[in-house]
């Protein structure tokens, strides 16, 4: 049997791309429609990472407003319409992403995205950023009706990309990503510039980096560490 190629699975928001401006801008649009004061980006940035519904809930909770399920669903629908219309007005890839993908691809690595974003906006964003075709699979929380940190979404992402968990490494920015990788039993590299209210190094990922230029050495160290000697 031919071994599956090695696979890097990336989170999207706060890992591959800086998306806070467009996401929080959309949240503030929703809040503003109901006469609720906007949230400063610096405060709301750390509400990101669990998907749009969670962001809306957290945004309203910060204003001491409770949302019942029906109202949350209506706001979520409005959120998606507005967000997709401005999908990449302020969003951009983090420095070094494209160069890192190029280097790993040259070494026969493959790539996938596993995000708690809805799949449609995730694909649209990656296309707008010019990298959608770099990923063998792009999986959102609605793709299999499973969200991180449930390890099944990571396993299904690996399967969809034609990978093998024993040859896969997760790259993320938060406790959710770290827990998802641990729950499946694969290594995880954390970037320290993403969306987390806890310093990511305190969450004890297998490795933490501050720039994508460091990803090659981090992955090589992890890959060699678990290779048979």
Domain ranges within the chain, ordered by starting residue: 7-18+91-226, 20-85
Contact 161, 191 (CB under 8 A): no
> Which residues touch 8 (CB under 8 Å, ≥6 apart)?
104, 109, 110, 111, 112, 168, 169, 171, 219
pLDDT in tens, 205-218: 999 999 999 999 99
Mapped onto helix, strand or coil, the DSSP state of residue 49 is: coil
As beta bridge partners, residue 8 has 111, 169
pTM above 0.85, yes or no: yes
Give the Å distances, CA to CA, from 106 to 77, 102, 103.
41, 6, 5
Instruction: Reply yes or no on whether 11 is catalytic.
Output: yes
pLDDT value of residue 229:
40
CATH 1.10.357 fits 20-85, yes or no: no
Whether the upstream peptide bond of residue 149 has omega within 30° of 0, thus cis, is yes
Vertex 69: Cα angle to 44 and 46 (nearest 5): 15
Evaluate whether 62 touches 27 at the Cβ level (below 8 Å): no
According to the model, what pLDDT value does residue 38 have? 86
Residue stretches of the chain with pLDDT short of 50: 1, 228-229
Q: What pLDDT shows up at residue 209?
A: 97
- H/E element, 26: helix 20-33
Q: How far apart are CA 50 and CA 38, in angstroms?
A: 20
Chosen CATH of 7-18+91-226 out of 3.30.2010.10, 3.40.50.1000, 3.30.499.10, 3.40.50.410: 3.40.50.1000
Catalytic residue among 11, 13, 173, 177: 11
Q: What is the pLDDT of residue 53?
A: 83
pLDDT of residue 226: 64
Q: How high is the pLDDT of residue 45?
A: 82
- What pLDDT score does 161 carry? 97
Can you read off the two tokens belonging to residue 158?
Answer: 């690996």
């Amino acid at each position: 049997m031919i071994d599956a190629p090695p696979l890097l699975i990336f989170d999207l928001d706060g890992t591959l791309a800086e998306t806070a401006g467009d996401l929080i801008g959309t949240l503030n649009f929703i809040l503003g429609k109901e006469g609720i004061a906007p949230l400063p980006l610096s405060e709301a940035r750390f509400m990101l990472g669990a998907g749009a519904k969670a962001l809306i809930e957290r945004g309203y909770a910060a204003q001491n407003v409770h949302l019942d399920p029906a109202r949350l669903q209506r706001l979520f629908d409005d959120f998606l319409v507005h967000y997709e219309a401005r999908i990449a007005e302020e969003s951009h890839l983090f420095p070094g992403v494209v160069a890192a993908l190029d280097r790993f691809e040259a070494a026969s690595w493959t790539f996938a995205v596993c995000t708690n974003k809805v799949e449609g906006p995730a694909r649209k964003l990656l296309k707008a950023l010019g990298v959608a075709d770099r990923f063998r699979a792009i999986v959102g929380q609605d793709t299999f009706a499973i969200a991180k940190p449930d390890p099944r979404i990571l396993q299904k992402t690996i399967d969809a990309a034609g990978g093998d968990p024993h040859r896969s490494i997760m790259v993320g920015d938060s406790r959710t990503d770290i827990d998802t990788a641990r729950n499946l039993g694969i290594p995880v590299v954390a970037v320290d510039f993403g969306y987390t209210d806890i310093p990511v190094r305190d969450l004890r990922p297998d490795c933490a980096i501050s720039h994508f230029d460091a990803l090659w050495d981090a992955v090589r160290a992890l890959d060699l560490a678990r290779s048979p000697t």
